[in-house]
Amino acid sequence: MRFGRHMPVVPAPKEALLRTREVGGDATQIFVTNPRGWRAPAPKPAEEAAFRALRAELGGWPVVVHAAYLINLASSNMEFAEKSIALLRATLDRAARFEAMSVVFHIGSHTGAGEEAGMARLIAGIDRALDGAAPGPMLLLENDVGGGGKLGGRFENIARALDALPRHAARLGVCLDTAHLWGGGYDIGAPEGARRTLDEADRVFGLARVPVWHLNDAQAGLGSHLDRHARLGEGRIPLEGLKALLRDPRLADAIFIMETALTTLGEARETGEAESETELDVRDAAKIDWAAERRRFDFARALAGVAAASEA
């Protein structure tokens, strides 16, 4: 079991690894393109080489890439869907240069065309993105809170997409976000509900296909269909449930990534005000309360009942 967090890639991508290690993590999630931009910036070979060298030095540090939020393969707008395929493929290529183990993307919304049409586009889009992509990182379908045409609120839709692409089976998997499960109505706030949710995921697509989890708390209620992350222990998911989930032996080999905003020094509200996954980038490391980040890793590990990552 590993714990990581999403880290900014400024001033250099390799800083993301160093900072994660400094605060006691042992896995890192990064963006490799602008999370809100359609165009992948030109690669910077020297930065990538430095990143790979450090990753090797750290014993093959696990790296997860989060794809841009704009991507919606299921969109009924053809131009939008085409741009999504191109950007996802570019993200996979870029992730390979960073030796990432996987690329996580949001499976998107049917934008009014209905679930059948949306699923068909999603499946065709994944197929095309993978066909043209460099070999390497796995592509992980992230669950969402459902509602408003979103396709990832139910395990069945995720399984349908996986099952439709046996040709890519070895390269496809799932990333489950705890805040999204909660928002989607899976009651992971109680031990019994957490176990039932894991049972269902195991039955529908198999927990072995979930190498990465997003470990976020939620500001909104169970089944609210709202995607508002909170820092672990500061949101509305009761900890007994999260504790049971983290301690389930079926998740012993998973990587848990925290995605809430980094704590800034002198932050007005000590309770995590991270509103979404879109507030993760930070330009000035001197403004970050790294000690608070370290406490969060300690808290996550204590919840899971595992010892801290060995100090280098």
Tell whether residue 217 is a contact of Zn ion (CB under 5 A). no
What residues from 121 to 150 belong to the interface with Zn ion (CB under 5 A)?
142
Q: Work out how close the CB of 103 gets to Zn ion at its nearest, in angstroms, rounded to a whole number.
A: 11
Tell me the closest approach of the beta carbon of residue 69 to Zn ion, in angstroms: 8
Least separation in angstroms between CB 67 and Zn ion: 8
| 104, 66 Cβ separation under 8 angstroms | yes
Stretch of 24-32, 74-82, 165-173, 224-232 contacting Zn ion, by CB under 5 A: 224-232
Taking the least distance from each CB to Zn ion, the nearer of 264 and 276 is: 276
Q: Give the residue nearest to Zn ion (CB).
A: 227
* Residue whose CB is less far from Zn ion, 277 or 293: 277
Of the pair 54, 73, the CB lying nearest Zn ion is at: 73
41 to 70, contacts with Zn ion by CB under 5 A?
none
Q: Choose between 230 and 246: whose C-beta lies nearer to Zn ion.
A: 230
- Write down the least CB distance from residue 272 to Zn ion, Å: 13
3-state SS, one letter per residue, for the chain: CEEEEECCCCCCHHHHHHHHHHCCCCEEEECCCCCCCCCCCCCCHHHHHHHHHHHHHCCCCCEEEECCCCCCCCCCCHHHHHHHHHHHHHHHHHHHHCCCCEEEEECCECCCCCHHHHHHHHHHHHHHHHHCCCCCCEEEEECCCCCCCECCCCHHHHHHHHHCCHHHHHHEEEEEEHHHHHHCCCCCCCHHHHHHHHHHHHHHCCHHHCCEEECCEECCCCCCCCCCEECCCCCCCCHHHHHHHHCCHHHCCCEEEECCCCCECCCCCCCCCCCCHHHCCCCCHHHECHHHHHHHHHHHHHHHCCCCCCCC
* Residue tagged 């070895």 (tokens): 170
- Contact with Zn ion (CB under 5 A) among 15, 93, 227, 293: 227
Give the C-alpha separation, 270 to 234, whole Å. Answer: 10
Q: Which stretch binds Zn ion (CB under 5 A): 11-19, 83-91, 191-199, 274-282?
A: 274-282
Of 8 and 54, the one with the shorter C-beta distance to Zn ion is 8
Measured from the CB atom, the residue of 54 and 172 that comes closer to Zn ion is 172
Q: Closer to Zn ion at the Cβ: 54 or 237?
A: 237
**Least distance to Zn ion from the beta carbon of 187, Å?**
18
- Shortest separation between residue 277's beta carbon and Zn ion, angstroms: 5
In angstroms, what is the minimal distance from the CB of 88 to Zn ion? Answer: 13
Q: Say how many residues touch Zn ion, by CB under 5 A.
A: 3
Residues that bind Zn ion (CB under 5 A): 142, 227, 277
